[in-house]
Every structure is written in structure tokens, then in C-alpha cells.
Structure 1
């Protein structure tokens, strides 16, 4: 049996023509949507979601192209734009009865959440972003040998064909590499959850590559357009991240402050998978944001 978030109800919700998302919903109260990262599914929020469900209505979808959500073909290089994926999230919340909601995202989900905050400011009340910088800034701060940490970004940015074939030849090795490398505490992702992540990723190679390819194309263009227009995140923003600024030689808090005037930036001590490695700290930080 596939692992689930205990006590949550599961359903499928149509969010766009031909696109349904798998979503787990639990708790009652003001809504908060939690978006997962790579190479994971909504399960990465299992501890935090159960904790928050005592006070909030917690909504945990699999993103378009991931987990048990639909994986439409990327016919034009834009199907997996963060703009489309952000629109999915807003449509999901509305389908569940929420015109306004708090939003938290990790990794790829944080990029979707960032785009949702820019594109749908009237819908997003508060925003939490875990262990990323915006797409356009990511490409700008990575250079030299330090950029080797992001080799997968460059691989999946290549034209259709090669990345899918290379990753598809050994998907468990590829996706497992990140699960093993990025967790400071391997016990945070138990064997049954790791297996679930690998099964989900194995069946989503094309859509995962399309998601990353969009971040080397249309997502950069969208970020650049917002930067040029002076668009900023108007809601309170919490950023939790590892000390990537020190590792890659840039001012991480400064990068985020340029996008989010009402910013709380916190450097964490755990690994990349912080919602699994230190769920109590993540839940506490989210509560402070939601209650502020």
C-alpha cells in the first residue's frame, strides 16, 4: 500500500482542461496550501501537514506532472511553466471553496508559490518559500565550479530527447542521488517513503524534465518581465533556506528582499528536505507566519 498522510482525505480535482491534481485535504480552519519539491510528492509534508491540521485546513496536492497528478504532454514548452502550475494551485483552492489562502512551497513547489504570489496577489494572503531563490536569480548566482551542485538544472535544460533518455535509462539512480545527497539525516526519509518517491519519479521522467526545462526558458522570461516592471510580492513572506549564499558567494537575503519588501529570512541548520528533517521547526515557523 502506498504511504499517505494519515487522517487526510484524498481526492482528484480538475484545475485546467485535461489536468486533474491528486490532493490530500485535512483539518479545519483558515486554508493553507503546501506544495512539494523535487524529487518528491505531497508526502514530503506528512509531518507538518498533520501538525498544522489541528488549527488549519491543510491542502497538499501533487503538482502537475508529479506523483498521482496528471502529466500532460509538453507540446509547446509552456505546459509546465510556473505560471500554469501556479494557476493550477489557485484553481484547486477555489474548487475547494477558498478564494484566499496562505501558500507554502518547497524547492520546485516554492518556485510555483513564488509565481502564484506575483500572478495572483489577491488570492495569496501569506507566502512561505523553502530552500530556493527565484528562477532568474538562480541562473545569475550560479557560476564556476560551485555550479556543479546544480548540474541537473543544466542537464534538464537541454532540448527534448537527450535528458529524457539519459534519466529514463536509470531513473532510480538519478532521482535517488538527490534523495541521498541532499538529506543531512537519511533517517528523515524512511525506506517506504523513499520507495514511493522513486516510483512516482520513475513514472514522470518526461514531465519532470519539462518542468525543469521551463525554468531555463519561459520561467526566466516571466521573472525578467516582472523585475523590469517592478513587480514585487506584496504579502508577508517567509524564506527558510540553507546557507546557499555562503556556499555560492551571494547575498541570499538581499536577493529575496529585492522581491519581497515584507520579508523574514531564516537560515536553517538541517538539510534540503527540511520539512522531513526538522518538521517541528518548519511547522513552528509556518505558524508564526500564519498568525502574524
Structure 2
């Protein structure tokens, strides 16, 4: 049996066009939605969710295309556009009775959260993004040999039919490599959770690739249109990330300030999987955000 978040109830919630999301829900109080990253599922939030559930309703979905959520076939660039996935999240919260909610995302989930903040400001009260840059900025800072850290971004940006069979030939080696390379404390991802992540990824190769492919196309177009139009995040925003700016030669705070009016930017010494490696630190940052 796959691990679950103890004490949370599991729901299958229809969100759009026949797509249903798997979501773990626990606690009571103001709603907080937590979105996972790659190559994970909602389980990455298990420690943080348990703490926040003491005084919040905490909703942890598997994103469209991941985990136990539906994985619609890619039917054009919009199927896995972050705009589409953000609309899923807003619909999920509303179906569960929450018109307004705080939103935190990690990695891919942070890109969905960023898009939700721009597209649905009436719904998002607070926004946290962990260890990403907005898609448009991410591609801008990737250059030269430093871009090797993001090699998977270029692989999964290729046309349908190219990356999928390559990944399917060695799925555990491919997805497991990120769990190994991006973590500083391997014990933060125990064997049963790691096995659950790999099993979920094996079953979702086409949709995971489609998610990444969208980030090299339609998501860039959406971000560029918003930047050109002066769109900004108007809610309180917290960003927590590794010091990628120092490593890759850019000012991460300045890039985020270009999007957010009320920004607090923090660096962490934890690895990429910070909600699992340093849950107390992430809880602290999220509670600081929720108090603003």
C-alpha cells in the first residue's frame, strides 16, 4: 500500500473537462493548498501539512498528470499549461468549499502556484514558491555549462515521441537520479516514500513530459504576455530557495521583485527537497507568510 499523510482524508475531486484530482485534506480553519514538485507527489508535504493542520484546513493534491490524479492525453499545448493546472487548483479549492485560500508550491507546483497568483488574484490570499524561478526567468538564466544542471528541461522540451521512450527505457534510473542528486539529506526521503515516488512516475511518463514541454512553449508565452502587460502578484509572496543565484550568476531577489509587490525572499542551506529535509524551516516561513 502506498504511504499516505496520517490523519488526512482522501478525496477524488472533479475539476475540469472530466479531470479528477486526488487530494489529501486535513485540519480545520483557513484553507492552505500545498502543491508538490518533481519527481514527487503530494506526500512531499507530509511533515509540513501535519503542522499546519493544527489551525488550517490543509489541501494537498496530486497535480494533473501526477500521482493518483487523472492524466489526460496531451491534446495541444494547453493540456498541461500552468494556466490549465492553476485553474484545476482553484476549482479543487472551490469544490471543497474554499473561495479564497493561501497557496504554496514547490518546484513544478511552484510554477502552477505562480500562474494561479497571476490568473486568480481574487482567490489567492498568500503565495509561497519554493526553489524555482518563474518560467520566463528560468530560461533566461540558463546558459553555458551552468545549464547542465537543467539538462532534463531540454530533454523533455523535445517533440512528443522523442523523450518519452528514452525515459521509459530506464524510468527508475531517470527519476531516481533527481532524488539522489538534488537531496542533501537522503534520510529525509525514506525507502517507502521513494518507492511511491518512483512508482507514480513510472505510470505518468507521458504527462510528466507534457508538463515540462509546456514550460518550454505555452508557459513562456503566458509569462511574456504578463510581463509585457505589467501583471504583478498583488498578494503577500514568500520565496524560499537554494542560493542558485550565487551558483549561476544572477540576482534571484531582483528577478522575483519584478513580479511581486510584497516579497520576502529567503535562501536555505537545505537541499532541493526542503519541505522534507527541513520541514521546521518551511513551516516557519509559511506561518510568517500567513501572518502578513
User: What per-residue deviation string (whole Å, max 9, x for no partner) do you get for residues 251-287 of structure 1?
Assistant: 0000000000200000001000000000011011101
Q: What CA distance in whole angstroms lies between the structure 1 residues aligned with 2:3 and 2:66?
A: 16
CA distance in 2, matches of 1:263, 1:76: 34
Q: CA deviation at 1:18?
A: 1.5
Is residue 2:261 matched to residue 1:270?
A: no
Q: Which residue is 1:260 aligned to?
A: 260
Task: Give the aligned partner of residue 186 of structure 1.
Answer: 186
Residue 291 of structure 1: how far off its partner (Å): 1.4
2:49 matched residue in structure 1: 49
Flag structure 2 segments of 5+ consecutive residues without an equivalent: none
Distance of 1:82 and 1:180 partners within structure 2: 26
The residue number in structure 2 matching 1:174 is 174
Q: Which residue matches 1:155?
A: 155
Q: Is it true that 1:32 corresponds to 2:32 in the alignment? A: yes
Give the C-alpha shift of residue 58 in structure 1.
0.1
Equivalent residues in 2 for 1:242-261, closer than 5 Å: 242-261=242-261
Do residues 200 (structure 1) and 200 (structure 2) align?
yes
Residue of structure 2 equivalent to 1:78? 78
Q: Determine if the alignment matches structure 1 residue 121 to structure 2 residue 113.
A: no
CA deviation string 1:31-89 (max 9, x = no partner) = 00000000000000000000110010000000000000000000112200000000000
Q: Which runs of 5+ in 1 are unaligned?
A: none
What residue number does 1:98 align with?
Answer: 98
Q: What TM-score results when the alignment is normalised by the length of structure 1?
A: 1.00
Report the equivalent of 1:282: 282
- The CA distance in 2 between the partners of 1:73 and 1:279, in whole Å, is 34
Which residue of the partner structure matches residue 223 of structure 1? Answer: 223
| TM-aligned CA deviation for residue 140 of structure 1 | 0.3
Residue 291 of structure 1 pairs with residue 291 of structure 2: yes
| Partners of 1:157 and 1:256 in 2: CA distance | 24
